[in-house]
Amino acid sequence: MTPRDSGVPETDSGVIETDAGTGEPDSGVSIPAITLEGSGEVTLEFAPGAPVDFPVQVVRKEPFSADVTLSVVDLPPHVKAVPVTVPGTETAALLSFTVDEFAAYGRFPVKLVAVGGGEQAELALTVIVNHGQAALDSSFGNEGVVAPDLGQPAVRINNMAAQPDGKWVLVGSTGSTGLRDVLVARLLADGTPDPDFGTKGVVVTDVCGGDDYVDAVTVLSDGRILVAGGAVYGAGSCSGTKYQGALFIRYTAAGALDTTFGGTGVRAFQISAGVATLHAVTVDSQGRIVGAGTVKNTDLDLMVMRLTPTGEQDKSFSSDGLAWMDLGDDEDGMAVVTQSDDKVVVTGTSTASANLLALVRFNADGTKDSGFSYASGFSYPKVTPRTLHLLPDGKLLVGGKGVFNSGGATYAAVLARMTKSGALDTSFESQMGLRSYSAVTNTAKDTLAGTAILPGGEVVLATWSKDAADAPGVGLIHVSADGRTVLRAHRTDLSGDERPVCAALGVDGTLGVAGMRTASGQSSERPFMTRFWPY
């Protein structure tokens, strides 16, 4: 029988020739001088200052022993990998991947390339980019930023609210100062104007042809929208002597004026003590409407108004629905909450206070609650409140801006917690009751835009943050419930110059932040909104 021809030559000894003494048949294919070994995938998600290490093994075929440089090519935008050189005496290496908040999410094929000693090798990788906890939602709008076209001139956003269906309500004004009109806009969850609200997502209300605006908004349980601010008009109508008074407007869920509220949906009140405005609004346990702000008499006084659900002045509150308080100098009410017993707590400023902060409580009948008293006990920081939360245990949490020197060059976001009786809570922040926070380490330049209480009791602060060069950004600071620990802090620098002024926690746990922004190459501010992933 003739042996089958294998195509492999035999030696005189009958032993098959092998390659380089490896014991393997010679296939005619040379073994590369360098090969790379490692996992085929690397998963990334944004976390401030937290790179992801990717281990690689560099396998060299003797006698090759040159240094090898590893790098990654075809990376998607906003993902980086630092090249690393592996000495000829070593085989193990760590590549460091980083991803910023603006990276798109998904799976991306890339190549790990090794070059050295005139040789080259490649390893196919898949980079998986996921969003990180509390990171910017880059899928929202354009790289995390929505600049909604509201179709109105000179728009200013002053506040916002989140609806239970995931939509966002932004409020403020449109038009030049002196001729402003009230503006209410509603955005879908993705940040685009809601076509089912007003005209292309926007409602504009002119009270009496004068200067009108709103600073506060709340969404009622039935979807109606209640706003408060100021308007210039005549007493009881658009005729007669006009000056600025307190303004309430209620809209249906579709954006029409709610005529069950005062017959027209608009309630404006000239205050006999003088010019007035509202900065905050809420609803108590009986559906009564409570607004807080300021009225000018001989000086500025903190003011509270309470209306019935139909928009009439509630005469069971200080006989005419109106109460104000003079603490000794100029006061301004900035935020309000109502307790389960319908007492009203207002925080604001008072120049008679050592640190500007004022905190007062009114009984359900509009009289001052003498069992509630706040005294600062310190001069700095000078605090301008922005937010007020009633905590489940009855304590109160004030958020604001704190200024730390007379020139105002050093400032930060501030939280202060008070007991049920109004005293600073010594169990909050190492027995101080108050602490300042900054999004950038060693840079105290944060103006508070908004606060939210997370399900576990922790607090998130959104700020207008400036770095050492005064470049603006959005600061995000996550604080433990006792105020003592900063769990997370970072600053997001959007394109252009942004000025966030408000924030709200969405039904899905995302944090919406809105305000004004000057886009790159532009000279005027326009509204913007951004969104951060849940905590």
Predicted local distance difference test score (pLDDT) of residue 20: 36
* pLDDT of 383 over the 70 cut: yes
- At a CB cut-off of 8 Å and minimum separation 6, what does 465 contact? 438, 439, 440, 445, 446, 472, 473, 474, 475, 491
Q: What is the pLDDT of residues 186-238, one digit of tens each?
A: 999 999 999 999 999 999 999 999 999 999 999 999 999 999 999 998 876 78
Q: What is the Cα–Cα distance from 492 to 435, expressed in whole angstroms?
A: 22
Structural domains in the chain plus CATH codes: 34-130 (2.60.40.10), 271-379 (no CATH)
- Going from the C-alpha of 317 to that of each of 276, 301, 306, 322, 427, the distances in angstroms are 18, 18, 7, 7, 34
Q: What angle do CA 282, 283, 289 make, to 5 degrees?
A: 90
Nearest by Cα to 443 from 483, 416, 475, 417: 475
Could you tell me which residues are beta bridge partners of residue 280? Answer: 292
Predicted local distance difference test score (pLDDT) of residue 468: 85
Predicted local distance difference test score (pLDDT) of residue 12: 41
> Are 87 and 110 spatial neighbours (Cβ–Cβ below 8 Å)?
no
Q: Mean pLDDT throughout 146-166?
A: 96
Q: What is the pLDDT of residues 349-365, one digit of tens each?
A: 999 998 999 999 999 99
What pTM did the predictor assign? 0.90
The DSSP symbol for 199 reads B
- Going from the C-alpha of 41 to that of each of 57, 85, 282, 519, the distances in angstroms are 15, 21, 51, 37
Q: What is the Cα–Cα distance from 130 to 139, expressed in whole angstroms?
A: 11
Q: What is the pLDDT of residues 475-519, one digit of tens each?
A: 999 999 999 999 999 999 998 999 999 999 999 999 999 999 999
Q: CB-hemisphere CA count at 13 Å for 328? A: 7
The one-letter amino acid code at 159 reads N
